[in-house]
Amino acid sequence: MPECSTREFKPEDLRRVCEIELRSFSHPYPCQLFLVYYYLFPKLFLVAECDNLVVGYAVGVVENGDKGHLASIAVDENYRGRGLGRALIEEFEARIKTLGVFKVYLEVSIRNEVAISLYRKLGYSVVGLLRKYYPDGEDAYLMLKELK
Binding site for ligand COA (CB under 6 A): 24, 73-75, 80-86, 108, 112, 114-115, 117-118, 121
Q: Which residue number, 38 or 91, has a Cβ lying nearer to ligand COA?
A: 91
User: d(Cα 84, Cα 75) in Å, to the nearest integer?
Assistant: 7
User: d(Cα 102, Cα 84) in Å, to the nearest integer?
Assistant: 22
Residues in the chain: 148
Q: Which residue number, 63 or 77, has a Cβ lying nearer to ligand COA?
A: 77
Q: Which residue number, 35 or 112, has a Cβ lying nearer to ligand COA?
A: 112
Taking CB positions, which residue lies at the least distance from ligand COA?
A: 85
User: d(Cα 45, Cα 96) in Å, to the nearest integer?
Assistant: 11
- Phi and psi for 34 in degrees, rounded to 5? -65, -35
Q: For the CB of residue 85, give the shortest distance to ligand COA in the complex, in Å.
A: 2
